[in-house]
């Protein structure tokens, strides 16, 4: 079976609106001005031979294989670099052209190993295809010197670099520059001596390369090739699906051999990624078949007991009977569930339906509680809808980009590449972040302002920024008058103009020089199009919601909403944070963000679900823990979320889990939470199920089953079995039926269906009816609030309770790294550990010197919540007084030290501000020792009970 490849038009599409008509080989063709002759020909099925051109990068014109003749013109121009013009008559095939092309191919082939039959790219090699296309049968040259003995670079765990096969077409170099924006590759030397390599002739792993795979994708030969293809051979069929890692939501072709994934290839038609990828989605899929995958349901009476493998029926019936027993003993509200942003929309929907209709309460929450719940609150209040306002492509029209508390190159890498492209075109960049993220200075990009604010002072910063705009009259008053609630604006204007909000007055709080804030604010306000992108550095604070409101105020005051190139864009962390919130997984909201007490909505759902529903908001995650410790919340169904690692003040979380009588965990691995569980229901990876994910730009994309579920069921089927065992009937036969129900009950999804998603590739909600193809840009005419007007709200800065003291003189802040993902359960089980195998504590040289620390030393980090030990990394990226770590490894215990402070409106934890002391130590912390012992014991209890067939 041969795989159907995506068509390569040779050069990128032109976006010009003017059309040009020409004739190619006697056929008329009309294309946008600026299109190459090669692309125009390809669009009518005439594929001109090519080697150095591909449609993801700009043409270069080096191989000369694509030559054509133009009637009345001289010579033989390269069709990839020749633009179309009105009335042009092009000839792509004749004797002369064929001879030239054969000559070119002969030169290439004479310095290329002739091992096609044993080469891993056999059947997927453009050089081989072109030799066939030009009819090359023999090579007349016998070169004295060749490159055939050059050594391979196997340093990258995922792809191999064999320079003997390189034709120096520079597609890889251009892909690294244009698509990825890393500039890791160069071509050294001239003529015969020219060769491609990571700069300074380093090995790939020692270079700047971030393993995005763009060069592998672009390479026409087997020079750069996935090791999985070398190991397993060429794939046979492909299925389009969506990456299960971050909120960019890249579209991929899972290229398969039977049920085995050979490689994940970024999909050119993917509207979020346009054929690009990062190391996680592209290469780190091996976890799905890792030996640690759990495939059998298990139960046990107590967490001190060995696990017992049981049948699915037994596990489901036991779980249901335990939940019912607990409800009988402790009351209807004594059980609940936690869904995850890693679940599909359909899984989240039926989970919250089970809890509301089957459990009879609203005790459902999601991990968005601990990341973007303030976004939901702040944007809903001000704009009337709790989502980001733009599509990703909008950034290409932004003139000034303001990034606050986000690290796109690590957290949202494919979007970061697009943003870097725009910055290389000349857009200005303002970064507000305590730490020097990569975008502050990266090849051909340098931030105009890096405002190094102190952790915990975001609101003081945004107020000062807005103060400049208000007092210097840099607002867009026409926009405000036409589109916003003017009374709320006037109040806000008076508030923000007060002296205590000025950059001078807040300088001592934020640590940012007043002159810097003034200059940056003027730059933002003066832009035709200014766009704000923000992340967890905004939300995970005690004033997270206030800061989101402050950002919304700023965008409204400057008229930067409702069109392409502007907007307020939360960069959502996990693949389906947006979707899990949309699907009603908060305790106070039905799907579509409608309050559970709203009479009409309540009635709608009671009728549809044929159940009596509670109108009282249920427990949030932290309230569930509190209630567990006071004995009133005793049963939890947790799907896809690892609360025992990811939630703050982890010792408190562990105590709450221990206090419960039945914890049911549904996951693909025995995660940290499962160590406290009584029922384990094996989950399915994204490769094993159907459904949809919704990314940070509200784009609903298909998730498609490419292999059978290892444990026998897709996750939605497991939830459905539990619902039926609980006595609440569910009878879906496919997730498309669940989506149909969502659409029938949720106005913003009314026009969404699997048929439409398959037809269009993806849909951005709101999508109100059958005709609609979705909404890339929100609030174009009116805001989504009831009266259509944007609402300004006051944002008084209130300092966090978390203060530095003599005992805890440093502020710890946290973040993530490109190669690892969240709690690391997936990426730690891939070769991505080659880049990051442990969490480290970044500390500034001054603070390190004060403590006698050097890189690699073990350091104890102590807060009022607890203590853990990590290795130190001396870094100029953090400012003095601030330390930083990632949280991808459970044994790091980053959440042992984070506190129970949280956002006033949503309870989102204040992960980003913890006062700590750091000192040199020689052994693990007491918590680490205890946790290690507990973990080992749990693995023993697993081994004792597990029967290997
Ligand atoms: S993998 Fe990506 S970053 Fe690395 S060299 Fe290739 S294109 Fe550049
Ligand atoms: S490695 Fe591949 S893409 Fe790069 S120059 Fe060589 S043949 Fe071309
Ligand atoms: S950018 Fe995000 S969605 Fe895209 S491949 Fe990487 S992890 Fe997956
Ligand atoms: S494909 Fe046009 S010059 Fe190489």
pLDDT computed for residue 191 by the predictor: 67
- 């006697």: which residue's tokens? 26
Burial status of residue 818 (CB atoms within 10 A of its CB: 0-12, 13-18, 19 or more)? buried
- Best CA proximity match to 146, nearest among 130, 165, 131: 165
Question: Is pLDDT at 164 greater than 70 in this prediction?
Answer: yes
Give yes or no for a contact between 242 and 252, defined as CB atoms under 8 angstroms apart: yes
The residue whose C-alpha atom lies closest to atom 1 belonging to ligand 1 is 211
- 């897709």: which residue's tokens? 714
- 């030239």: which residue's tokens? 100
Considering only CA atoms, give the Rg of the chain: 29
Mutate to test the pocket of ligand 3, among 247, 248, 830 (most ligand atoms within 8 A of CB): 248
Sign of CA dihedral 796, 797, 798, 800: positive
Give yes or no for a contact between 761 and 774, defined as CB atoms under 8 angstroms apart: no
**Residue 529 alpha carbon to ligand 3 centre in Å:** 27
- Summarize the confidence of residues 569-592 as an average pLDDT: 89
**CB of 78 shorter than 6 A to ligand 4:** yes
pLDDT computed for residue 948 by the predictor: 45
Token pair for 456: 């915990």
329 CB-near residues (< 8 Å, 6+ apart): 634
**Residue 694 alpha carbon to ligand 3 centre in Å:** 13
- Summarize the confidence of residues 542-552 as an average pLDDT: 94
**CB of 475 shorter than 6 A to ligand 4:** no
Token pair for 263: 């490689």
The CA-atom distances, in angstroms, between 553 and each of 434, 450, 512, 535, 913 are 22, 22, 21, 17, 24
Q: CA-CA distance, 657 to 939, in Å (whole number)?
A: 18
Strands 530-534 and 568-570: parallel
**CB of 221 shorter than 6 A to ligand 2:** yes
Question: Is pLDDT at 144 greater than 60 in this prediction?
Answer: no
Nearest-atom index, ligand 3, CA of 413: 1
**CB of 210 shorter than 6 A to ligand 1:** yes
**CB of 51 shorter than 6 A to ligand 4:** yes
Q: Which ligand is nearest to the CA of 277?
A: 3
Query: Is it true that the peptide bond before 402 is cis, omega within 30 degrees of 0?
Result: no
Q: CA-CA distance, 886 to 827, in Å (whole number)?
A: 14
pLDDT digits (tens, 9 = 90+) for 651-676: 889 999 999 999 999 999 999 999 99
**CB of 125 shorter than 6 A to ligand 4:** no
Question: Is pLDDT at 22 greater than 80 in this prediction?
Answer: yes
Measured CA angle at 185 (ends 182, 190), to 5 deg = 145
pLDDT computed for residue 281 by the predictor: 95
Q: Which of 163-167, 377-381, 778-782, 827-831 has the lowest mean pLDDT?
A: 827-831
Token pair for 531: 């766009």
pLDDT digits (tens, 9 = 90+) for 748-791: 999 999 999 999 999 999 999 999 999 999 999 999 998 999 99
**CB of 445 shorter than 6 A to ligand 1:** no
Q: Which of 415-424, 477-486, 593-602 has the lowest mean pLDDT?
A: 593-602
**Residue 934 alpha carbon to ligand 3 centre in Å:** 34
Mutate to test the pocket of ligand 3, among 217, 250, 342, 411 (most ligand atoms within 8 A of CB): 250
Q: CA-CA distance, 526 to 503, in Å (whole number)?
A: 18
**Residue 281 alpha carbon to ligand 3 centre in Å:** 5
Nearest-atom index, ligand 2, CA of 215: 3
**CB of 469 shorter than 6 A to ligand 4:** no
- Best CA proximity match to 38, nearest among 4, 74, 13: 13
Sign of CA dihedral 368, 372, 374, 380: negative
**CB of 638 shorter than 6 A to ligand 2:** no
Strands 19-24 and 195-198: unpaired
**CB of 182 shorter than 6 A to ligand 1:** yes
H or E element that contains 808: none
**Residue 151 alpha carbon to ligand 2 centre in Å:** 15
**CB of 218 shorter than 6 A to ligand 2:** yes
The CA-atom distances, in angstroms, between 642 and each of 338, 370, 506, 622, 670 are 10, 12, 39, 14, 10
User: Buried b / exposed e across 448-474, counting CB within 10 Å, b at 16+?
Assistant: ebbbbbbbbbbbbbbbbbbbbbbeeeb
Q: How many CA atoms lie within 13 A of 128 on its CB side?
A: 18
Nearest-atom index, ligand 3, CA of 246: 2
The residue whose C-alpha atom lies closest to atom 3 belonging to ligand 4 is 61
**Residue 120 alpha carbon to ligand 3 centre in Å:** 27
pLDDT digits (tens, 9 = 90+) for 670-703: 999 999 999 999 999 999 999 999 999 999 999 9
Greater model confidence, 35 or 895: 35
Mutate to test the pocket of ligand 3, among 216, 278, 407, 417 (most ligand atoms within 8 A of CB): 278
Measured CA angle at 429 (ends 517, 480), to 5 deg = 65
Mutate to test the pocket of ligand 4, among 63, 126, 167, 170 (most ligand atoms within 8 A of CB): 63
**Residue 3 alpha carbon to ligand 4 centre in Å:** 25
pLDDT computed for residue 675 by the predictor: 94
Q: Which ligand is nearest to the CA of 696?
A: 3
- The whole model's pTM is what? 0.93
Q: Which ligand is nearest to the CA of 80?
A: 4
Collect contacts of 546-549 with beta carbons under 8 A, ≥24 apart. Answer: 546/378, 546/459, 546/795, 546/796, 546/797, 546/798, 546/904, 546/905, 547/374, 547/378, 547/458, 547/459, 547/462, 547/795, 548/374, 548/375, 548/377, 548/378, 548/379, 549/378, 549/381, 549/382, 549/793, 549/795
Question: Is pLDDT at 167 greater than 50 in this prediction?
Answer: yes
Q: CA-CA distance, 802 to 903, in Å (whole number)?
A: 13
**CB of 228 shorter than 6 A to ligand 1:** no
The residue whose C-alpha atom lies closest to atom 3 belonging to ligand 1 is 209
pLDDT digits (tens, 9 = 90+) for 596-620: 999 999 999 999 999 999 999 999 9
Question: Is pLDDT at 495 greater than 90 in this prediction?
Answer: yes
pLDDT digits (tens, 9 = 90+) for 107-122: 888 777 777 778 888 8
Measure CA 130 to chain center: 37
Share of the chain above pLDDT 90, in %: 74
812 CB-near residues (< 8 Å, 6+ apart): 861, 863, 882, 883, 884, 885, 897, 898, 913, 914, 915, 916
917 CB-near residues (< 8 Å, 6+ apart): 807, 808, 809, 810, 861, 862
Nearest-atom index, ligand 4, CA of 81: 2
pLDDT computed for residue 749 by the predictor: 95
Question: Is pLDDT at 561 greater than 90 in this prediction?
Answer: yes
Question: Is pLDDT at 146 greater than 70 in this prediction?
Answer: no
507 CB-near residues (< 8 Å, 6+ apart): 513, 514
Q: Which ligand is nearest to the CA of 175?
A: 1
DSSP characters for 627-696? Answer: HHHTTS--EEEEES--HHHHSSSHHHHHHHHHH-SEEEEEESS--TGGGG-SEEEE---GGG--EEEE-T
Q: Which ligand is nearest to the CA of 130?
A: 4
- 């001190």: which residue's tokens? 304
The residue whose C-alpha atom lies closest to atom 3 belonging to ligand 2 is 219
pLDDT digits (tens, 9 = 90+) for 301-332: 999 999 999 999 999 999 999 999 999 999 99
H helix and E strand count, the chain: 30, 36
Q: CA-CA distance, 699 to 247, in Å (whole number)?
A: 10
Phi-psi region of 487 (alpha: psi -120 to 50; beta: other; left: phi over 0): alpha
**Residue 278 alpha carbon to ligand 3 centre in Å:** 5
Measured CA angle at 580 (ends 578, 586), to 5 deg = 110
Give yes or no for a contact between 667 and 683, defined as CB atoms under 8 angstroms apart: yes
The residue whose C-alpha atom lies closest to atom 6 belonging to ligand 2 is 166
pLDDT digits (tens, 9 = 90+) for 58-95: 999 999 999 999 998 889 999 999 999 999 999 999 99
pLDDT grade, residue 536 (50/70/90)? confident
**Residue 121 alpha carbon to ligand 4 centre in Å:** 21
**Strands across the sheet containing 763-764:** 691-694, 699-703, 763-764
Nearest-atom index, ligand 2, CA of 173: 4
**Residue 10 alpha carbon to ligand 4 centre in Å:** 9
Q: CA-CA distance, 259 to 251, in Å (whole number)?
A: 19
Q: CA-CA distance, 875 to 879, in Å (whole number)?
A: 9
**CB of 432 shorter than 6 A to ligand 4:** no
Burial status of residue 943 (CB atoms within 10 A of its CB: 0-12, 13-18, 19 or more)? exposed
- 């669009």: which residue's tokens? 43
**CB of 48 shorter than 6 A to ligand 4:** no
Give yes or no for a contact between 276 and 417, defined as CB atoms under 8 angstroms apart: yes
The CA-atom distances, in angstroms, between 183 and each of 460, 729, 889 are 37, 56, 30
pLDDT grade, residue 125 (50/70/90)? confident
The residue whose C-alpha atom lies closest to atom 6 belonging to ligand 3 is 278
The residue whose C-alpha atom lies closest to atom 6 belonging to ligand 1 is 215
Which one-letter DSSP state was computed for residue 566? -
The CA-atom distances, in angstroms, between 62 and each of 53, 128, 169, 878 are 9, 18, 7, 44
679 strand-pairing partners: 299, 664
**CB of 170 shorter than 6 A to ligand 2:** yes
Question: Is pLDDT at 372 greater than 80 in this prediction?
Answer: no
- Best CA proximity match to 254, nearest among 242, 240, 244: 240
H or E element that contains 923: none
**Residue 279 alpha carbon to ligand 1 centre in Å:** 9
pLDDT digits (tens, 9 = 90+) for 245-277: 999 999 999 999 999 999 999 999 999 999 999
- Summarize the confidence of residues 807-817 as an average pLDDT: 88
Question: Is pLDDT at 946 greater than 80 in this prediction?
Answer: no
Q: Which ligand is nearest to the CA of 270?
A: 3
Which one-letter DSSP state was computed for residue 36? B
The CA-atom distances, in angstroms, between 68 and each of 85, 130, 144, 744 are 15, 16, 32, 56
- Best CA proximity match to 200, nearest among 181, 186, 180, 215: 186
**CB of 217 shorter than 6 A to ligand 2:** no
**CB of 63 shorter than 6 A to ligand 4:** yes
- Summarize the confidence of residues 720-734 as an average pLDDT: 97
Q: Which ligand is nearest to the CA of 111?
A: 2
Nearest-atom index, ligand 3, CA of 282: 5
The chain-wide mean pLDDT, for the chain, equals: 92
849 CB-near residues (< 8 Å, 6+ apart): none
pLDDT computed for residue 199 by the predictor: 81
Mutate to test the pocket of ligand 1, among 211, 223, 263, 818 (most ligand atoms within 8 A of CB): 211
H or E element that contains 624: helix 621-629
DSSP characters for 239-259? Answer: EEEE-SSBTT--EEEEEEETT
Question: Is pLDDT at 856 greater than 60 in this prediction?
Answer: yes
Question: Is pLDDT at 1 greater than 70 in this prediction?
Answer: no
Residues with CB under 6 A from ligand 3: 243, 245-246, 248-250, 273, 277-278, 280-281, 413-414
Nearest-atom index, ligand 3, CA of 415: 1
pLDDT grade, residue 473 (50/70/90)? very high
H or E element that contains 148: none
163 strand-pairing partners: none
Mutate to test the pocket of ligand 3, among 243, 406, 577 (most ligand atoms within 8 A of CB): 243
């Amino acid at each position: 079976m041969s795989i159907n490849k995506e068509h390569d038009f040779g050069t990128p599409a032109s976006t010009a609106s003017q059309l040009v008509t020409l004739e190619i080989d006697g056929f008329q063709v009309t294309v946008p001005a600026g299109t190459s002759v090669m692309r125009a020909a390809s669009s009518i099925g005439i594929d001109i031979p090519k080697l150095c051109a591909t449609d993801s990068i700009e043409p270069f014109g080096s191989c000369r294989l694509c030559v054509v003749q133009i009637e009345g013109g001289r010579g033989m121009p390269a069709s990839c670099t020749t633009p179309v013009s009105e009335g042009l008559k092009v000839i792509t095939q004749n004797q002369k052209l064929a001879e030239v092309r054969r000559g070119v191919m002969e030169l290439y082939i004479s310095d290329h190993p002739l091992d096609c039959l044993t080469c891993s790219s056999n059947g997927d090699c453009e050089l081989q295809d072109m030799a066939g296309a030009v009819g090359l049968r023999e090579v007349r040259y016998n070169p004295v010197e060749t490159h055939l003995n050059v050594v391979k670079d196997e340093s990258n765990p995922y792809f191999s670099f064999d320079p003997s096969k390189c034709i120096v077409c520079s597609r890889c170099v251009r892909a690294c520059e244009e698509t990825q924006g890393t500039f890791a590759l160069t071509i050294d030397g001239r003529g015969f001596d020219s060769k491609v390599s990571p700069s300074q002739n380093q090995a790939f792993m020692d270079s700047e390369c971030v393993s995005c795979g763009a060069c592998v994708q672009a390479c026409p030969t087997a020079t750069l090739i996935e090791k999985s293809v070398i190991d397993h051979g060429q794939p046979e069929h492909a299925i389009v699906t969506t990456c299960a890692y971050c909120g960019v939501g890249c579209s991929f072709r899972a290229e398969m051999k039977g049920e085995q994934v050979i490689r994940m290839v970024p999909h050119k038609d993917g509207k979020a990624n346009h054929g690009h990828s990062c190391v996680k989605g592209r290469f780190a899929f091996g976890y799905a078949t890792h030996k640690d995958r759990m495939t059998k349901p298990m139960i046990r009476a107590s967490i001190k007991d060995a696990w017992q493998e049981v049948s699915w029926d037994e596990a489901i019936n036991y779980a249901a009977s335990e939940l019912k027993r607990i409800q009988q003993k402790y009351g209807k509200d004594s059980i609940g569930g936690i869904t995850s942003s890693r679940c599909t929309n359909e899984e989240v929907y039926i989970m919250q339906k089970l809890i509301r209709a089957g459990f009879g309460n609203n005790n459902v929450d999601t991990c968005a509680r601990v990341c973007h719940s303030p976004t939901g609150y702040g944007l809903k209040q001000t704009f009337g809808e709790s989502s980001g306002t733009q599509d990703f492509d909008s950034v290409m029209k932004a003139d000034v980009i303001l990034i606050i508390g986000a690290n796109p190159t690590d957290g949202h890498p494919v979007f970061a590449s697009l943003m870097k492209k725009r910055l290389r075109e000349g857009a200005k960049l303002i970064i507000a972040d305590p730490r020097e993220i990569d975008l502050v200075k990266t090849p051909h990009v340098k931030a105009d302002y890096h405002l190094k604010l102190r952790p915990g002072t975001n609101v003081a910063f945004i107020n000062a920024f807005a103060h400049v705009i208000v007092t210097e009259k840099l607002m867009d008053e026409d926009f405000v008058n036409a589109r916003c609630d003017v009374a709320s604006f006037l109040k806000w204007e008076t508030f923000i103009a007060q002296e205590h909000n000025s950059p001078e007055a807040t300088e001592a709080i934020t640590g940012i020089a007043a002159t810097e804030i003034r200059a940056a604010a003027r730059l933002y306000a003066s832009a035709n199009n200014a766009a704000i992108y923000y992340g967890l550095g905004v939300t995970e604070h005690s004033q997270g919601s206030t800061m989101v409101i402050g950002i919304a105020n700023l965008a409204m005051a400057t008229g930067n909403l409702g069109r392409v190139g502007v907007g307020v864009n939360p960069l959502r962390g996990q693949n389906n944070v947006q979707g899990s919130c949309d699907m009603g997984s908060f305790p106070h909201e039905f799907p579509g963000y409608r309050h559970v007490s709203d009479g009409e909505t309540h009635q709608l759902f009671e009728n549809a679900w044929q159940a009596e529903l509670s109108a009282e908001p249920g427990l949030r995650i932290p309230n569930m823990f509190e209630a567990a410790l006071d004995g009133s919340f005793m049963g939890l169904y947790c799907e896809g979320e690892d609360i025992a690692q990811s939630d703050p003040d982890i010792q408190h979380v562990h105590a709450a889990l221990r206090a419960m009588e039945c914890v049911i965990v549904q996951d693909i691995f025995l995660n940290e939470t499962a160590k406290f569980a009584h029922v384990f229901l094996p989950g399915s990876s994204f490769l094993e199920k159907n459904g949809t994910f919704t990314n940070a730009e509200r784009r609903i994309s298909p998730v498609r089953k490419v292999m059978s579920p290892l444990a026998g069921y897709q996750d939605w089927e497991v939830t459905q079995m539990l619902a039926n065992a609980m006595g609440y009937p569910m009878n879906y036969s496919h997730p498309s039926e669940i989506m149909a129900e969502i659409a029938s009950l949720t106005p913003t999804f009314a026009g969404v269906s699997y048929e439409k998603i398959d037809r269009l590739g993806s849909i951005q909600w709101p999508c109100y009816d059958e005709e609609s193809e979705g909404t890339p840009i929100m609030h174009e005419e009116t805001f989504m609030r009831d009266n259509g007007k944007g609402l300004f709200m006051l944002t008084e800065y209130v300092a966090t309770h978390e203060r530095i003291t003599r005992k805890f003189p440093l502020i710890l802040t946290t973040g993530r790294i490109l190669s690892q993902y969240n709690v690391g359960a997936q990426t730690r089980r891939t070769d991505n550990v080659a880049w990051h195998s442990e969490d480290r504590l970044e500390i500034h040289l001054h603070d390190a010197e004060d403590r006698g620390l050097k890189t690699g030393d073990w350091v104890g980090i102590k807060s009022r919540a607890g203590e853990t030990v990590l290795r130190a990394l001396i870094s100029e990226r953090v400012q003095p007084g601030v330390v930083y770590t990632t949280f991808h490894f459970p044994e790091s215990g980053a959440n042992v030290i984070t506190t129970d402070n949280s956002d006033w409106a949503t309870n989102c934890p204040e992960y980003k501000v913890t006062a700590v002391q750091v000192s040199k130590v020689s052994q693990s912390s007491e918590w680490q020792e205890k946790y290690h012992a507990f973990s080992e014991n749990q693995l023993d209890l697993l081994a004792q009970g597990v029967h290997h067939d």
